[in-house]
Structure 1
Amino acid sequence: MIQHRDIDSAELLARIENVPFSRWHAKARIIVGSATFFDAFSALSLAFALPVLISLWNITPTQSGLLIAASYVGQLAGALLFSWLAEKFGRIPSMTAAVALMSAMSLACAIAGNFPTLLVFRLVQGIGVGGEMPVAAAYISELSKARGRGRFFMLYEMIFPVGLMATGQIGTWVVPAFGWQTMFLIGAIPGLVVAFLLARLPESPRWLISRGRLGEAEQIVRQMEASTGHTVSTASEVPVSSPGKVERSRWGEVLGRSYRSRTLIAWTLWATAYFITNSLNNWMPSLYNTVYHLGLRQSLRAASMTNVAQVLVLLICAFTIDRIGRRNWTAVAFIAGGTALTILGFVGAESVRSVMILGTFSYGIIGSINAVLYLYTPEIYPTRMRAIGTGLATSWLRLASAVGPPLVGFMVGARGIDSVFLMFAATSVVGLLAATRMIETRARRLEEIAS
Structure 2
Amino acid sequence: MDNLDSRTPSRSALLVPVLCWLALTADGYDLFAYGATVPGLLAAPGWGATPASVGAVASLGLVGMLCGSLVAGTLTDLLGRRRLFAASVALFSLAMLGCGLAPSFAVFAAFRFLAGLGIGGLLPTAIALTSEFAAPQHRSRILGAVLTGPPVGGLLASAASVALLAEHGFQLVYGLGVIPLLLVPVALRLLPESPAYLRARGRTAEADEIAAAFGLPAPAAAFGLPAPAAVPAPAGRRSPVRTLFVDGMGPATLGIWVVTICSLLTLFGLSTWLPQIMRTAGYGLSSSVAFLLVYSAGGIVGTLVAAHLAQRLGAKALVLTGFAAATIALAVLAAQPPTGVVLVLVAVAGFGGLGTQNLLNDHVAGFYPAGARATGLGWALGVGRIGAIVGPTYGALFVGGGSAVVASAVAFAVPALLGALVMSRLPRSRPEVPVAVPTASVPTGGAA
Bucket of the pairwise TM-score, normalised by the shorter protein: 0.7 to 0.9
C-alpha offsets along residues 38-89 of structure 1, whole Å, 9 cap, x if unaligned? 1111111122222112111331111111121111111111111113433665
**Alpha-carbon distance between aligned partners in 1 of 2:413 and 2:84, rounded to the nearest angstrom:** 37
Q: Which among 339, 342, 346 is matched to residue 331 of structure 2? A: 342
Calculate the aligned-residue CA RMSD, in Å: 3.2
The alignment partner of 1:24 has SS state of coil
One-letter amino acid of the counterpart of residue 69, structure 1 = S
CA drift of 1:243 comes to 5.1
Q: 1:81 to 1:234 in 2, by over 3 A?
A: closer
Find the counterpart in structure 2 of residue 240 from structure 1. Answer: 225
| Code of the aligned partner of 1:38 | A
- The equivalent of 1:302 in structure 2 is 291
Secondary structure in 2 matching 1:90:
helix
Alignment of 1:76-225 (within 5 A): 76-86=66-76, 89-188=79-178, 190-200=179-189, 201-225=191-215
Deviation string for 1:286-321 (max 9, x for gaps)?
1111x2121111111222111111112222123322
CA contact (8 A) 1:249 1:385 kept: no
Do the aligned partners of 1:35 and 1:195 also contact (CA within 8 Å) in 2?
no
Alignment correspondent of 1:448: none
- Contact 1:262–1:380 (CA<8 Å) still a contact in 2? no
Contact residue 164 and residue 307 of structure 1 kept, 8 A? yes
How has the CA–CA distance of structure 1 residues 138 and 378 changed in structure 2, closer, same or farther, with 3 Å as cutoff?
farther
Q: Which deviates more from structure 2 when the two are superposed, residues 19-28 or residues 169-178?
A: 19-28
**Matched positions, count:** 420
Q: Does 1:404 align with 2:391?
A: yes
Cα distance between partner residues in 2 of 1:187 and 1:350: 35
Letter in 2 for 1:28: V
Distance 1:194 1:386, change over 3 A: farther
Q: 1:359 aligns with which of 346, 351, 357?
A: 346
In structure 2, what residue type is equivalent to 1:240? L
Between stretches 396-405 and 30-39, larger displacement belongs to 396-405
Q: Which moved more, 1:363-372 or 1:202-211?
A: 202-211
CA contact 1:162–1:307 (8 Å) conserved in 2: yes
Paired residue type of 1:270 = T
**SS of structure 2 residue aligned to 1:148:** helix
| C-alpha deviation, 1:211, in angstroms | 4.0
Which amino acid in the other structure matches residue 396 of structure 1? V
Aligned mates of 1:54, 1:388 — CA distance in 2: 40
Separation (CA, whole Å) in 2 of partners of 1:328 and 1:23: 36
The DSSP-based 3-state class of the residue aligned with 2:225 is coil
1:53 counterpart (24, 31, 41):
41
The answer for the alignment partner of 2:407 in structure 1 is: 419
1:89-134 residue CA offsets vs partner (Å, 9 max, x unmatched): 5322222221121112111111111111111111121111111111
Aligned match for 1:371, one of 358, 362, 367? 358
Q: What is the alpha-carbon distance in structure 2 between the residues aligned to residue 238 and residue 39 of structure 1?
A: 29
> Match for residue 432 of structure 1?
420
1-structure distance, mates of 2:289, 2:258: 31
Q: What is the CA–CA distance in structure 2 between the aligned matches of 1:407 and 1:234, rounded to whole Å?
A: 44
CA distance in 1, matches of 2:8, 2:53: 51
Say yes or no: does 1:312 pair with 2:301.
yes
Does 2:273 match 1:288? Answer: no
Note the alpha carbon deviations across 1:337-360, whole angstroms, 9 max, x for none: 212223334xx1476555433233
Given that residues 8 and 212 in structure 2 are in contact (C-alpha distance below 8 angstroms), is that contact kept between their aligned partners in structure 1?
no
Q: 1:42 aligns with which of 26, 30, 39?
A: 30
What CA distance in whole angstroms lies between the structure 2 residues aligned with 1:241 and 1:113?
59
| TM superposition shift of 1:438 | 4.5
Distance 1:402 1:88, change over 3 A: same
User: Take 2:255 and 2:218, find their aligned partners in 1: how far apart are those partners?
Assistant: 38
Q: Contact 2:316 / 2:360 at 8 angstroms: preserved in 1?
A: no
**Structure with greater contact order relative to length (CA < 8 Å, sep ≥ 6):** 1
TM-score (norm 2): 0.83
- Distance of aligned partners of 1:48 and 1:377 in 2 relative to their CA distance in 1, 3 Å threshold: same
Residues 65 and 406 in structure 1, CA contact (< 8 A), matched pair in contact too:
yes
Name the CA distance, whole Å, in 2 between partners of 1:322 and 1:20: 26
Distance, in Å, in 1 between the alignment partners of 2:419 and 2:220 is 42
Alignment gaps of 5+ in structure 2: 431-448
Alpha carbons 2:36, 2:292 under 8 Å: kept: no
Q: Aligned in 2, Cα 1:95/1:438: closer, same or farther, shift over 3 Å?
A: farther
Q: What percent identity do the matched residue pairs reach?
A: 24
CA contact (8 A) 1:249 1:384 kept: no
Segments of structure 1 that go 5 or more residues without pairing to the other structure are 1-7, 227-231, 442-451
State yes or no: 1:391 paired with 2:378: yes
Cα shift at 1:144 = 2.5
